[in-house]
Amino acid sequence: MICPNCQSENKDGAKFCNDCGFPLTGRMAAVAAASTSDATLRSIAADDGPEDVQAGDSDPDFEGAASAVEPESAGEPDASGPLDRSSIPAIDVAGVNVDENGNAFDFGSIGDDEAARAADDLTPFVPRRPDEEPISGRSDFSGFDECLVDAGYVPPKKSWGPGDTMEMPRIEGQAAPKQKEFRAPDANQKKGGKGKIVAIVLVCLLAVGGAAAGVTYYLELWGGKMLPDVVGMTQSDAVYVLESKGFAVHEEKTKSDDTEGVVLLMDPVAGSREEEGSEVTIHVSEARTIPDVAGKQRDEAAALLEKDGFEKVSFVTEKSNEREGLVLGIAPEAGSKAAAGTEITVTVAVPFTVPDVKGKTWDEASKMLTDEGYEPVVSYVYDDSVPAGTVLGTTPEADAKADSGSTVTVSVALSRGAELEQAALSYLGGLRDSGSTVTVGGTAYLVESVDAVKYEGGETTSFTITGKAVTSLDGETVYGSSKQKSGAIVWTSDNAIASIS
């Protein structure tokens, strides 16, 4: 392919000249080719001479061509040197400087919008002559002995081989364009035409196979069947739908506040693919009822209530002879329907325990024990460290677990000294009242008054009395004068007098 601008040879199919960068296709290339066609013909005619013209006279296809050109010639060209462009008359060539109707082109400056539209229009323009001026013969180009191309011009080296590059020429007066490299394709590289066809066929087959597999899978011809969504249906409707698809149905009841008998959830979930005959579990709502937890342990009852979804459960205790931690009752009563937020009270047994009555009087201790359901029994214990009548403790001891109705022995403090002092007062007072005598130091004294009694410890009490010594002389009783006399009484454990001194 010859460049119409620099006449260098280019590879067939090239879009731009490898030497000058001139476009080889499109409108600009067509215009350039048309503008150089007549000059090229004249240059060839000048080189061939009159022989070619004579040969042309015998060719009927070119008759009249010379006569059509000769009137336009301004004179004989000078064959001794380069062609003088000013001496060549102007030739109107359709598609070069005039349009196909002979109107001159406007080569003035154009706006940016018009330039953009012209750049986008790449449709080649093919000039043609008017129908009323047909070419009747060969044109006479005698006298033209030079071409427009300098005879000393050496075409540049071809640069479209594999790996070759070129540099675009610089346009004078303008900024240098950015350098670009163009790499020509390798002519020796084999084109895989058959391989591409095979690959395309394989891709098409795979696409068709994939589409067929997808359609058959969607139609449930393989890969199992899709589980329908039965959540929200009644139990009977859900069973019918699933069984009609070929699935086995397993039902489970689930406590719920929703409408009774409605499917709450399903396993596997709806939309999954399962083999025909697979088992599907549906959870059907069931009204909550208060479970019967009486007689169960506290922890077991709490677990049952939590399992049924009850959220507000409280436990209270009640003293009972039943096993500790045993549920005695529940409110609301067992079997009644209730929502998850219903308040539920569970009564749990706790054992009776002996109250702490230490330090109290016998009367106070007796009342407390009776209120707890126990039978109190008193037991006196000699203890001079506390006031007499103070409770020292109980049997069983305080806080011990004991069934209601059991007997509890209350230990009450009793002072030995006070007891013996009272015994001494009673003994001496009896002597005084009866006019009897007490022997102190071997002398009998008629007791007139009891002045003092004191417990000395060791089962011994001391006393002081006022009395008269009594003796017998010759059969007569003789009384001495009144005076105080002190003595001591030793007691036995059963409060009997062991001795008086």
DSSP secondary structure string for all residues of 123-185: PPP-----TTS---S----TT----SS-TT--PPPP--STT----PPPPTTSPPPPP------
pLDDT at 468 over 50: yes
State the average pLDDT over residues 376-386.
86
Q: Which of 70-84, 387-401, 442-456, 471-485 has the lowest mean pLDDT?
A: 70-84
Q: pLDDT class for 328, splitting at 50, 70, 90? A: very high
Amino acid 464: pLDDT = 92
Question: Across the chain, which distance is largest between two alpha carbons, in Å?
Answer: 226
More confident residue, 413 or 47: 413
State the first-to-last Cα distance of the chain, in angstroms, to the nearest integer.
169
pLDDT at 53 over 50: no
Give the DSSP H or E segment for 101.
Answer: none
Quickly tell me which residue has 């009972």 as its tokens: 320
Residue 171 — φ and ψ, nearest 5°?
-90, 120
Distance CA 345, CA 468 (A): 84
pLDDT by residue (tens digit) across 13-28? 777 887 787 788 776 6
Distance CA 308, CA 338 (A): 10
- Contact by Cβ (8 Å): 291, 305: yes
Distance CA 9, CA 7 (A): 7
Its CATH architecture, for the domain 362-414, is: 2-Layer Sandwich (3.30)
Percent of the chain residues past pLDDT 70, beyond the cut: 65
State the average pLDDT over residues 192-215.
84
Amino acid 51: pLDDT = 42
Q: pLDDT class for 283, splitting at 50, 70, 90? A: very high
State the average pLDDT over residues 359-387.
89
- Return the SS3 of 223: coil
pLDDT at 126 over 60: no
Distance CA 189, CA 122 (A): 31
Quickly tell me which residue has 């070759």 as its tokens: 164
Percent of the chain residues past pLDDT 90, beyond the cut: 23
pLDDT at 298 over 80: yes
- Contact by Cβ (8 Å): 254, 285: yes
298-350: CATH number: 3.30.10.20
- Return the SS3 of 491: strand
Q: pLDDT class for 149, splitting at 50, 70, 90? A: low
Quickly tell me which residue has 């591409």 as its tokens: 196
**Average pLDDT, whole number, for the chain?**
76
Q: pLDDT class for 124, splitting at 50, 70, 90? A: low
Amino acid 22: pLDDT = 78
More confident residue, 476 or 146: 476
Amino acid 84: pLDDT = 52
More confident residue, 250 or 215: 250
Rg (CA), the chain: 71
Tell which residue, 375, 379, 378, has the closest CA to residue 406: 375
Amino acid 83: pLDDT = 45
Q: Which of 13-17, 86-90, 141-145 has the lowest mean pLDDT?
A: 86-90
Q: How many CB atoms lie within 10 A of CB 110?
A: 12
pLDDT at 86 over 80: no
Of 149-153, 176-180, 202-206, 222-226, the range with the highest mean pLDDT is 202-206
Amino acid 416: pLDDT = 84
- Contact by Cβ (8 Å): 298, 315: yes
Residue 501 in tokens: 């001194």
State the average pLDDT over residues 383-407.
89
pLDDT at 406 over 70: yes
Distance CA 255, CA 175 (A): 87
Write the class of the CATH domain 225-287.
alpha beta
More confident residue, 13 or 469: 469
- Contact by Cβ (8 Å): 289, 321: no
State the average pLDDT over residues 343-368.
92
pLDDT at 201 over 60: yes
Amino acid 215: pLDDT = 81
Angle subtended at Cα 490 by Cα 485 and Cα 496, rounded to the nearest 5 degrees: 115
State the average pLDDT over residues 216-223.
68
Domain with CATH 3.30.10.20 in the chain: 225-287, 298-350, 362-414
| DSSP states along 230-241 | -TTSBHHHHHHH
> What 8-state DSSP symbol labels residue 429?
H
Estimate the crossing angle of helix 50-57 against helix 27-48, to 10 degrees: 100
User: Can you name the residues that pair with 165 across neighbouring β-strands?
Assistant: none
- Contact by Cβ (8 Å): 488, 456: yes
- Contact by Cβ (8 Å): 479, 499: no
State the average pLDDT over residues 77-93.
48
Distance CA 139, CA 137 (A): 7
Tell which residue, 144, 6, 157, 150, has the closest CA to residue 76: 144
Tell which residue, 484, 500, 495, 392, has the closest CA to residue 439: 500
Q: Which of 8-12, 72-76, 467-471, 481-485 has the lowest mean pLDDT?
A: 72-76
pLDDT by residue (tens digit) across 438-458? 988 888 899 999 999 998 888
Distance CA 30, CA 127 (A): 9
Amino acid 66: pLDDT = 36
Sheet holding 443-457, edge to edge: 437-440, 443-457, 460-473, 476-491, 497-500
Distance CA 138, CA 45 (A): 10
pLDDT at 386 over 60: yes
- Contact by Cβ (8 Å): 126, 29: no
- Contact by Cβ (8 Å): 301, 293: yes
State the average pLDDT over residues 195-214.
87
Peptide bond into 77 cis (omega under 30): no
Amino acid 370: pLDDT = 92
| DSSP states along 357-422 | -TTSBHHHHHHHHHHTT-EEEEEEEE-TTS-TTBEEEEESPTT-B--TT-EEEEEEEE-HHHHHHH
Please report, for residues 47, 190, 192, 207, 218, the alpha-carbon distance to residue 199 in angstroms, rounded to integers and kept in the order given. Answer: 57, 17, 10, 12, 28
Tell which residue, 345, 333, 259, 250, has the closest CA to residue 292: 333
Amino acid 221: pLDDT = 63
State the average pLDDT over residues 217-236.
79
